[in-house]
């Protein structure tokens, strides 16, 4: 399916140039864009690089939100910045904390739209699951987000803003003058683009935001700690390797075109053969280790021994690990979770073929924060059950 151009996107572009308050939000600008913006308010070409570095570090290393506290800039320059720019993050509307410590934030972005962000604490690390779109153009039949129409793409600022607001909530910015924040394990050590939306249908904004997350003078997460999950937008896979270089996860879920067409309808456009060809090239180009194959376990749909054996055969030659995801149910879902014995038997076949086959432990289920359960409450554009079944070819 072609990505639809959301009607509201143009409006957003205009808004970015001419925001209501006349101030340009500098969160999410690339280094080059920030440079142009600073030159636009009178910084000389000669000084531009240094000024970009200074502002960048305040924003993304120290996490400050006021120009006035950027003490290595002159008072006059700080006033000029405040006159033209702002530092704005998406607004946290609600925060739910699960009994297992998972935190789910509902955040509001420009236009009143809402997306969800999930923080999953683990021992000595923690993963933030971020969203790239409001809703999704794709209609994977087992996914709650897929029942919500695409409203619009998030801007780069709204994507990196999710990381920044989570660091706010975790109190993880270093105190100016008191250490650099480099000590000890990080609470937010990994990012996964596995929230709402298809990141490769919002490529440029996702790329720009992840470049900010990886920049050594700011949040400084290694590219190996960022995983982008795609349903299989084949032409953008090599761009991900070239232009982002992060780890790749692929929503595989089916081992024949017939099954995958139903579960992940983008397969009708780029089938298993085309997808596997693109995946085989990925680790070489991006220098990454293994591709994660995500495989949702749906009772009596894709969970037989035969499926497991086919899966192993298909991915032969690709450095891979297979992440088995017990299906997370949502109201009206047309599937059931496979029994745990079945999941275990499936995992064993893959493991015995030489692949890691971890079974993902659902996190934050009590707050509907588990994979595929995200959907913003205010965007109830839910299709009818009939339509979900029709899309799934049931």
**Which residues are known catalytic residues?**
116, 371
Q: Using H for helix, E for strand and C for coil, what is the string for 294-327?
A: EEEEECCCCCCHHHHHHHHHHCCCCCEEEEEEEC
* Paired sense of beta strands 133-134 and 152-153, if any: antiparallel
Q: For residue 246, state whether it binds ligand SAH (rule: CB under 6 A).
A: no
Q: For residue 226, state whether it binds ligand SF4 (rule: CB under 6 A).
A: no
Q: What is d(CA 73, CA 86) in angstroms, rounded to the nearest whole number? A: 16
Q: For residue 231, state whether it binds ligand SF4 (rule: CB under 6 A).
A: yes
Helix, coil or strand: residue 197: coil
Q: Smaller CB distance to ligand SAH: residue 70 or 296?
A: 296
CB of 221 to ligand SF4, least distance (A): 22
Q: For residue 198, state whether it binds ligand SF4 (rule: CB under 6 A).
A: yes
Using CB under 6 A, pick the residue from 276, 296, 322, 324 that binds ligand SAH. 296
Packing angle, helices 156-170 and 203-214, rounded to 10: 40
Residue 325 interacts with, from ligand SF4, ligand SAH, none (CB under 5-8 Å by kind):
ligand SAH
CB of 321 to ligand SF4, least distance (A): 19
Q: For residue 294, state whether it binds ligand SAH (rule: CB under 6 A).
A: yes
Residue 371 interacts with, from ligand SF4, ligand SAH, none (CB under 5-8 Å by kind):
ligand SAH
Q: What is d(CA 252, CA 264) in angstroms, rounded to the nearest whole number? A: 8
Using CB under 6 A, pick the residue from 229, 240, 292, 302 that binds ligand SAH. 229
Residues in the chain: 394
252 is in an annotated binding site: yes
Strand partners, 337: 298
Q: For residue 187, state whether it binds ligand SF4 (rule: CB under 6 A).
A: no
Strand partners, 228: 193, 248
Q: For residue 231, state whether it binds ligand SAH (rule: CB under 6 A).
A: yes
DSSP state, residue 62: S
197 is in an annotated binding site: yes
Using CB under 6 A, pick the residue from 191, 371, 388, 392 that binds ligand SAH. 371
Name 164's Cβ contacts closer than 8 Å, sequence gap at least 6: 27, 60, 63, 89
Q: Where are the alpha helices (DSSP H) in 219-314?
A: 234-239, 257-263, 272-286, 305-314
Span near ligand SAH by CB under 6 A; candidates 4-12, 95-103, 137-145, 206-214: 137-145
Which spans of this chain sit near ligand SAH (rule: CB under 6 A)?
142-144, 194, 198, 229-231, 251, 294, 296, 325, 327-328, 371-372
């Amino acid at each position: 399916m072609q990505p639809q151009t959301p009607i509201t996107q143009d409006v957003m572009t205009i808004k970015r140039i001419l925001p209501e308050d006349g101030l340009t939000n500098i969160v999410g600008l690339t280094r080059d864009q920030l440079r142009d913006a600073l030159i636009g308010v009178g910084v000389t070409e000669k000084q531009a690089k240094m000024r970009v570095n200074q502002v960048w570090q305040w924003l993304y290393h120290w996490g400050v939100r006021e120009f006035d506290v950027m003490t290595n800039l002159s008072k006059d320059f700080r006033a000029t910045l405040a006159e033209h720019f702002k530092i704005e993050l998406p607004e946290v509307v609600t925060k739910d904390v699960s009994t297992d410590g998972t935190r789910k934030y509902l955040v509001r972005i420009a236009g009143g739209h809402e997306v969800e962000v999930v923080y999953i604490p683990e021992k000595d690390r923690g993963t933030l699951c971020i969203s790239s779109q409001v809703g999704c153009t794709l209609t994977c039949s087992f996914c709650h987000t897929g029942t919500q129409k695409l409203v619009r793409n998030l801007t780069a600022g709204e994507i990196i803003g999710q990381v920044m607001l989570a660091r706010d909530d975790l109190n993880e910015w270093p105190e100016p003058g008191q250490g650099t924040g480099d000590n000890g394990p990080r609470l937010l050590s990994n990012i996964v683009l596995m929230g709402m939306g298809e990141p490769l249908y919002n490529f440029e904004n996702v790329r720009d935001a992840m470049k900010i997350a990886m920049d050594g003078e700011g949040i400084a997460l290694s590219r190996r700690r960022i995983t982008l999950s795609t349903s299989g937008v084949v032409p953008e896979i090599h761009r991900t390797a070239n232009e982002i270089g992060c780890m790749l996860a692929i929503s595989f879920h089916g081992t024949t075109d017939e099954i995958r067409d139903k579960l992940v309808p983008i397969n009708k456009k780029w089938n298993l053969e085309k997808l596997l060809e693109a995946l085989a090239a990925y680790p070489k180009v991006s220098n990454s280790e293994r591709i994660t194959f995500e495989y949702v376990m749906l009772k009596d749909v894709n969970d037989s021994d035969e499926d497991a054996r086919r899966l192993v055969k298909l991915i032969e030659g690709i450095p891979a690990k297979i992440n088995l995801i017990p299906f997370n149910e949502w109201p009206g879902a047309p599937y059931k979770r496979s029994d745990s014995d079945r999941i275990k038997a499936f995992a064993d076949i893959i493991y015995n073929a030489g692949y890691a086959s971890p079974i993902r432990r659902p996190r934050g289920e009590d707050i509907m924060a588990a994979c595929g359960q995200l959907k913003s409450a205010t965007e109830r554009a839910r299709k009818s059950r009939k339509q979900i079944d029709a899309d799934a070819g049931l």
